[in-house]
Structure 1
Amino acid sequence: MQSNAALSTWLADRTADRLAELLSRRDLPRSATYGTRPLTSFAGLAEHLLGDHSTARAMRLLTLAELQILTAVARLADLRHGPLPEPGSQTDPDPSDRPVPRDELLDAVAPTPEARRAAEECLDRLAVQALVLPPHNGVDLVVPLLLHRRSAELRGLGRPVDRLLTDAFNAAEVHRISAELGLPGARSRDQAQRAVTALLSEPDEVRALVAQAPPEALDVLAKLVPGPPQLYATCFTSQYGYYVAGRAKFLFRAAGSGHPGADWLARHGLLLPVGTDLVELPREVGTALRPDEEHLPFDPGPPQLRGSAALPRGAAGEAQTAAAAAASQAELVLRAVAAQPPTLRKAGGVAVRDSRRLAKTTGVPEAQVRLWLDLAATADLLGPVQDEPPKTRGRRPPPQPPGRIVPTQRYDGWLAASPAERLLPLVAAWAVTPEVFTHWPDPEETPVALAAPQDPTAVVLRRALLDTLAALPQGWGLEPTAPENLDALLVGAVWQRPTVLTPAEGPDRTRATLTEAALLGVAAHGALTPVGQAVRALLHSGADRCFPSVPGAGPRLHSHPAIADAVRGLRDALAELLPPPQTTARFQADLTAVVAGAASPELTELLTCCAVRESEGHAVVWRITAASVRRALDGGLDATDLLQRLTEASVDGLPLPQPLEYLVKDTARTHGRMRVVRSACCIRSDDEALILELSRTRSLAKLGLRRIAPTVLVSTVGPEETLVALRTAGFAPVLEAATGTTVVERAPAERAPTSMPPLSHAEDHRGSGPRTAAALAAKLLGGG
């Protein structure tokens, strides 16, 4: 039976749950965007799953063990049925024409019973994903055609030498390589190329040639032969100074690359150009130089992490402290943004001076300020606003004022939530955003917050690192700051996603990812916390495919039960990690208020209006001063109300210390003794001596104060500026309305509109139809 028909029949026999699981693993219906016809039948679905695009997307999610199994099937098929013909040479064969006996594969890759069991488990997982094709009869194995096409590539080999010569060179360069190899002179380019291809296709000739190579060339080959077969080198230059695939050819660089080994290999046709400053080792050369070319590797599990140690007794407390600090710091930064919105640069991102100002205001390190800004913006808690340009009478339009970043309409609800609920959208945003936030690739550039996420492998790296840490035994961790441990973690991450990640990723992005995980309480002492396990489950549910929508930050999840379950698990883990917020504070005689843990929104609001946050940690210390009490009185509270509210917030109902009561009452006694009248503008007070003092105060000279009555002064500036100047000079005025009543000053809360798209936005595909795997499965099983 042909592969399409066999797969179609197998799909039709699936239950709704199993079919939905398959569609979800193969990223359907989203990946059908690139299809040529709607998925309305099992035959169409089978055709899509067998296609190169769908197969390649599925391969990105495979572990090294699973990829090695598929590669081994394709390699054994080459040995049994011959290499797949070059594209365009004839009609592509059907995958079912290239079967491999199951026992032959298991004997080749699994010499021990343990390895055999692991290989059979891999085959079962691949069959569920339709990467090992039906009929799954336990006799033959069949894989999609793309695996056969990429068999050599997956084994770390380059392209055939004949194709590389055709794509790279004109006749002169081919003749030059032929002469360098000592081949007889050829009358045409085709004859010379056939001779070069024939020589390099003979393993003995290649080995004899390499035996003459200088040591520098052998060093280059030692890197390329195991794979991958490409290397950055400047042995060649483009014919026209630039390279466009299929339109330009390469020339040998006259001065060479400066590396004698690479130049020797290039002159002898052992390195051929495939791009600007990029060379490739031909397939025939790599095959000839591999001592174990017929060996089929199989690594059933990730490499063991050495250097792990038992977690210290306080590891759980460290995660709790980190999570509490994260919630507190995020709140501080967002409150500071609400109080004084940062400016957005024209090139994108928050102005550096504003990031530094926020760091100074909140006491949070600047790198972490950028992290909280990025996460809050991704979670739709911050958004941009654009002020209207000033009106002018001239013909030339006025310059557009710079944009600002302000809290969105979600912010007020977020601020009133518990610390665990505040942290939930931030952790979810960290999990699914394609960006390593604290890693800045160019060391010459100054990092900025709110740059557009543009790291397509960041989520893959994040998930692979969490999966690698999850393999540690219970109660054990790995110190991530040690260089050897970072290298081991990266090797483990590459095993998790070998088609996306490479060892060349380097330690910087790995270190930054682990640092962010520790800041959020996802990891502690190099081990996953319960929150880390929940984040891992969120990624395994496919939540990252919804970006820019962030599950857990607002979108409805009723049509995505797997993601909804993962979000609930993350919420529960955070709630268990972070204790309920404190509703009381301990007021002390030194005019401080100590909150043992995270304060509730109501307590935070009370202390923010009448005190200054002084320190962070397990306990938050607030200091009450005359200026902070005046701020509360300016907001509309009187001394009696403020003392009553503070008493109600006192721990165990203890009375307030006497110095605190005296401070509030003394400040209230002088508060409002002078009043700024709405005109442009008057200052009045029943205290004639105070009016006289104001008229003679040098720091108020810019107001142009003039005494027009024993109890009245006139100012030349408006009431707002007058209030600021008086308070700066140490006085405590209040604003008075024309009716004589005191005006309560409250800054208007500026909010940006929410912009978080629904999950359906990320799943948009061609034409109308089901937008989830479950809906597509139901449609197919229902017959349309």
Structure 2
Amino acid sequence: MKKDSPIPTLKGWLDTQSDDQLSTILRNRPDTVLPLPPNLASLAARLQLRASAIRAVLKLNALELGVLEAVANLGGELHPVTAPEVVEYLHVALAEDLPAQDTIGAALATLKNFALVYGDDQLMIAQETMPALPVHWRLLPEVSDRGQSEEQVRESVDKLSDRHRKLLHTLAASGGFGLTRDAAPDADPSRPIPQLLASGLLARVDEQTVRLPAMVRRVIEGREQLPAQVRPIPRTAAPGSNDGGIAAGLEVVRHMRLLIDALSHVPAPTLKVGALGVRVVTRLSKELDLDETELARLLSLGMASGLIRKGVPDPLPMDDDGGDYVAPTPLADEWMEYDLAHQLGTLMSGWWKQTYAPWLVGRADDKDKPIHVLSKTSIIDSLPDARAKILSSLSRVLVDNLHADLAFHYPLAASRMNPDTITQLVQEAQWIGAYSQGVTAAGQALIDGENPTEVIKAPAPVENFIVQGDFTIMVPGPLTPAMQKTMDSIASLESPGLASVYRLSEKSIRHALDLGLTTPEILEFLKEHSMTDLPQSVGYLLSDIARKHGTLRGGPALSYIRSDDPALLHSAVEAGADVALRQIAPTVAIAQAPLLQVITVLRAAGFQPVAEDGEGASLNISPSPARVPAASPPPVVPALDESRVQAAVKAIRRENSASQGTVSTQPTLSVLQAAVRGQRTVTLGFVDKQGVAVHRVVKPLTVNAGQVDAVDEATGAVHRFMLHRITEVIVDN
């Protein structure tokens, strides 16, 4: 506290605090630590920067903000107030909702631990704290100095002259406080300020300061009072169903495998803005048998997990147009080899940091243009923070009380959350398996900053199933990755879950044959893994489809198509004009295009050709999976660990009390050499290259050739000082 001023200062209060209290403040306000503040005055200045205050107030709950608001309403920005005054103010404002006095005391202690309020018996608000709150932010119900109701205030405002009304609007625009010579009790009662004070539309702070009551301000600005939520919501949430969460999550894993496989064969071309067009999304949706909303979720999740990425794939598609594509990365190959728990854990970790909002797809952006999948306009940078807060609230309360819990624990963030965003994030949590009748173990791991893979107890993969005569396949659990890939090729999923049901059909078996599987291979797969004898109806279905499939045969001799049916071959030649297919014999035609391109064109025309080698055996001529290089991992920002906090406090204390050390009268060189020998810590006073006098706490290592190498106690970095720039050496006592 300055000797010539009765107003306490933050720097003066910091000077009286213990090292433990300073450490607590630095932990709560880590942005003020790096680079290391040279002294308490610098630390106090950083704590009162608006950008730092904004970060701090976002961490407060509703009660703490309410107490801060009470201190401000009592004038704590201008002069000291006392804790009893704050309690009395809250008693009037909250009436029956008043929290216990020790709870209010704990809230005040928290505000001090954040250095937003300072002082012991006399409390004041640090500068830039209240301006850090949103404009017109108010949490507490208004307290009328005259006990007026809102209706009475409205009547008084309506009766005001234009001059008086203009004065109130000016005060509202300038923050609600004003300096005037007419605030004293003996001021001329005919003046506007005394008249407004007499009517209760202004409140006197002191003889030179007036305050616009919040209720009056809200009335003249036409705003409604929001209900205060200053009490925590009772905990009602129970642990979620881990089995239900895993079942939901493994279905996402299965879809992600299908998406990776689809994009490996046909990368999705992007629009010029980097998003996916409607045609591409429709094609993928049909191919994967997913609605477009879930496909948008899956694509967004793949991007966030690093499994797919925008870029130039290798190899390029045959019809490359020179633009970018969405394709899998090499990380997808590693992911496909993981066990189920690891696969799901990776997707959950990606979802936790995802910034894409897939539910915005199809809506209009600020320019009234539709938002496409993976477009920049679907990115909301605050989603990870909102997701963390929502899931944390769901770990305490049921969904019905979610909004109230958010309003208490995260009032500022909750006030900015769109209700639709909250609903969508809850649905995503259910979709990925982080929430199932409550927060699951994996969801709790995300909240705690742990790896969800560690707690996911995925059921062991099964290798057997039951094939039934109605062409359904009952699978009692998740399949191994290799079996899952084959099953997805030969059958379509009818009922998902940990125990699933697939169905064999003409369409699904043709799909398998198109991929290069043969009828004997499909039969062998079903017989090997079926827990019962294979029904005859299944064998008949496979045989019937096999007779119709592959009547056109193709070879890689750049390239030919053959068939024992001349009429069928003739029809194929007519359909293959785009690849210059020409019939050279009743059963043989050639093309001036690669075999893969020829077969692709014929399949698009409704034929079912297959590739063959020189001996007539079926070939799988699918190209190598397309891959886009993986993105470089973001740089890891080191956390403010305890050792750095303690080093910062120690360095600030040394610098602040440097005058209490021993300033050596011996030559500088001798003192530094002695400090090296004794491994002593010293405070160096020196002039930097800009001519600014600086002090730094260091431990000298070497003194040689007019230079001093020393370790900075706060950062651990080694610095070199020129001997001629050192002005003083203060030896630590």
Q: Report the TM-score when normalising by structure 2.
A: 0.65
Instruction: Pick closer, same or farther for the CA change 1:661–1:116 going to 2, 3 Å.
Output: same
Return the offset for 1:410. Answer: 1.3
Instruction: Pick closer, same or farther for the CA change 1:667–1:715 going to 2, 3 Å.
Output: same
Return the offset for 1:57. Answer: 1.3
Return the offset for 1:755. Answer: 1.5
- Equivalent residue for 2:559? 681
Supply the distance in 2 between the matched residues of 1:704 and 1:456 (Cα, whole angstroms).
51
SS at match of 1:466: helix
- Counterpart of 2:103 (choices 118, 142, 164) is 118
Q: 2:486 is aligned with what amino acid?
A: L
Q: 2:126 is aligned with what amino acid?
A: P
Determine whether 1:360 maps to 2:286: yes
Supply the distance in 2 between the matched residues of 1:619 and 1:600 (Cα, whole angstroms).
13
- Equivalent residue for 1:378? 304
- Counterpart of 1:411 (choices 300, 308, 332) is 332
- Counterpart of 1:602 (choices 479, 482, 496) is 482
Instruction: Pick closer, same or farther for the CA change 1:461–1:655 going to 2, 3 Å.
Output: same
Partners of 1:630 and 1:732 within 8 A in 2: no
- Counterpart of 1:571 (choices 444, 449, 453) is 453
Return the offset for 1:64. Answer: 1.1
Return the offset for 1:68. Answer: 1.8
Supply the distance in 2 between the matched residues of 1:106 and 1:709 (Cα, whole angstroms).
100
Q: 2:611 is aligned with what amino acid?
A: V
For residues 336-361 of structure 1, what are the alpha-carbon distances to aligned partners after superposition, in whole Å with 9 as ceiling and x for unaligned?
33343323222342212222332222
Supply the distance in 2 between the matched residues of 1:298 and 1:122 (Cα, whole angstroms).
16
Two-structure CA RMSD over aligned residues (Å):
5.0
Determine whether 1:469 maps to 2:382: no
Determine whether 1:586 maps to 2:466: yes
Q: 1:567 is aligned with what amino acid?
A: E
Return the offset for 1:47. Answer: 4.2
Q: 1:323 is aligned with what amino acid?
A: G
Determine whether 1:65 maps to 2:68: no
- Equivalent residue for 1:451? 375
- Counterpart of 1:749 (choices 625, 638, 641) is 625
Instruction: Pick closer, same or farther for the CA change 1:41–1:586 going to 2, 3 Å.
Output: farther
For residues 688-730 of structure 1, what are the alpha-carbon distances to aligned partners after superposition, in whole Å with 9 as ceiling and x for unaligned?
x445753476765747766656764434654334334555554
Return the offset for 1:732. Answer: 4.3
Supply the distance in 1 between the matched residues of 2:55 and 2:10 (Cα, whole angstroms).
19
Q: In the TM superposition, what are the counterparts of 1:120-199 in structure 2 within 5 Å?
A: 120-133=105-118, 139-147=121-129, 155=138, 177-178=162-163
Supply the distance in 2 between the matched residues of 1:601 and 1:639 (Cα, whole angstroms).
21
Return the offset for 1:495. Answer: 2.6
Instruction: Pick closer, same or farther for the CA change 1:22–1:582 going to 2, 3 Å.
Output: farther
- Counterpart of 2:11 (choices 4, 9, 16) is 4
- Counterpart of 1:336 (choices 262, 266, 278) is 262
Single out whichever of 373-382 and 592-601 deviates more from structure 2.
Answer: 592-601
For residues 110-134 of structure 1, what are the alpha-carbon distances to aligned partners after superposition, in whole Å with 9 as ceiling and x for unaligned?
6899611212332343444444447
Supply the distance in 1 between the matched residues of 2:228 and 2:396 (Cα, whole angstroms).
19
- Equivalent residue for 1:257? none
For residues 521-579 of structure 1, what are the alpha-carbon distances to aligned partners after superposition, in whole Å with 9 as ceiling and x for unaligned?
33345x444444334x24xxxxxxxxxxxxxxxxxxxxxxxxxxx223x3344x14x43
SS at match of 1:694: helix
Instruction: Pick closer, same or farther for the CA change 1:120–1:721 going to 2, 3 Å.
Output: same
- Counterpart of 2:424 (choices 500, 512, 522) is 512
Return the offset for 1:372. Answer: 1.8
Supply the distance in 1 between the matched residues of 2:87 and 2:601 (Cα, whole angstroms).
84
For residues 289-312 of structure 1, what are the alpha-carbon distances to aligned partners after superposition, in whole Å with 9 as ceiling and x for unaligned?
x9xxxxxx996523569xx8x99x
Q: 1:344 is aligned with what amino acid?
A: T
Return the offset for 1:62. Answer: 0.7
For residues 367-386 of structure 1, what are the alpha-carbon distances to aligned partners after superposition, in whole Å with 9 as ceiling and x for unaligned?
22112211221222221124
Instruction: Pick closer, same or farther for the CA change 1:524–1:741 going to 2, 3 Å.
Output: closer
Return the offset for 1:59. Answer: 0.6
Single out whichever of 200-209 and 112-121 deviates more from structure 2.
Answer: 200-209
Supply the distance in 2 between the matched residues of 1:227 and 1:208 (Cα, whole angstroms).
11
Partners of 1:344 and 1:403 within 8 A in 2: yes
- Equivalent residue for 1:734? 611
- Counterpart of 1:776 (choices 641, 644, 649) is 644
For residues 94-113 of structure 1, what are the alpha-carbon distances to aligned partners after superposition, in whole Å with 9 as ceiling and x for unaligned?
xxxx5444444445446899
Q: 2:63 is aligned with what amino acid?
A: A
Q: In the TM superposition, what are the counterparts of 1:694-709 in structure 2 within 5 Å?
A: 694-695=569-570, 700=575, 702=577, 708=584
Supply the distance in 1 between the matched residues of 2:201 and 2:127 (Cα, whole angstroms).
35
Partners of 2:491 and 2:504 within 8 A in 1: yes
Q: Report the TM-score when normalising by structure 1.
A: 0.61
Partners of 1:726 and 1:733 within 8 A in 2: no
- Equivalent residue for 1:301? 231
Supply the distance in 2 between the matched residues of 1:458 and 1:116 (Cα, whole angstroms).
36
Return the offset for 1:517. Answer: 2.7
Structure 1, unmatched stretches of 5+, are 85-97, 159-175, 183-192, 211-223, 231-264, 272-279, 291-296, 391-398, 480-487, 539-565, 764-769
Partners of 1:99 and 1:141 within 8 A in 2: yes
SS at match of 2:31: coil
Return the offset for 1:363. Answer: 2.7
Return the offset for 1:751. Answer: 1.2
Return the offset for 1:648. Answer: 4.1
Q: In the TM superposition, what are the counterparts of 1:652-691 in structure 2 within 5 Å?
A: 654-660=532-538, 675-684=553-562, 689-690=564-565
Supply the distance in 2 between the matched residues of 1:579 and 1:594 (Cα, whole angstroms).
16
Return the offset for 1:406. Answer: 0.9
Partners of 1:467 and 1:496 within 8 A in 2: no
Partners of 1:684 and 1:711 within 8 A in 2: yes
Supply the distance in 2 between the matched residues of 1:359 and 1:434 (Cα, whole angstroms).
22
- Counterpart of 2:29 (choices 15, 26, 31) is 26
Supply the distance in 2 between the matched residues of 1:126 and 1:181 (Cα, whole angstroms).
36
Return the offset for 1:58. Answer: 0.5
Instruction: Pick closer, same or farther for the CA change 1:741–1:322 going to 2, 3 Å.
Output: closer
Return the offset for 1:63. Answer: 0.7
For residues 164-217 of structure 1, what are the alpha-carbon distances to aligned partners after superposition, in whole Å with 9 as ceiling and x for unaligned?
xxxxxxxxxxxx9549989xxxxxxxxxx999999664464785999xxxxxxx
Supply the distance in 1 between the matched residues of 2:197 and 2:491 (Cα, whole angstroms).
84
Supply the distance in 2 between the matched residues of 1:693 and 1:150 (Cα, whole angstroms).
77
Supply the distance in 2 between the matched residues of 1:696 and 1:646 (Cα, whole angstroms).
35
Instruction: Pick closer, same or farther for the CA change 1:709–1:133 going to 2, 3 Å.
Output: same
- Equivalent residue for 1:49? 47
Partners of 2:569 and 2:587 within 8 A in 1: no
Task: Point out which structure has higher relative CO (alpha carbons under 8 A, 6+ apart).
Answer: 1
- Equivalent residue for 1:533? 444
Partners of 2:269 and 2:276 within 8 A in 1: yes
- Equivalent residue for 1:393? none
Supply the distance in 2 between the matched residues of 1:507 and 1:783 (Cα, whole angstroms).
45
- Counterpart of 2:502 (choices 622, 628, 651) is 622
Partners of 1:28 and 1:772 within 8 A in 2: no
Supply the distance in 1 between the matched residues of 2:261 and 2:215 (Cα, whole angstroms).
52
- Number of residue pairs matched by the alignment: 586
Partners of 1:319 and 1:521 within 8 A in 2: yes
Q: 1:4 is aligned with what amino acid?
A: K
Partners of 2:327 and 2:628 within 8 A in 1: yes
Q: 2:333 is aligned with what amino acid?
A: D
Return the offset for 1:459. Answer: 4.4
For residues 606-638 of structure 1, what are the alpha-carbon distances to aligned partners after superposition, in whole Å with 9 as ceiling and x for unaligned?
223444445534543434456755665666666
- Equivalent residue for 1:556? none
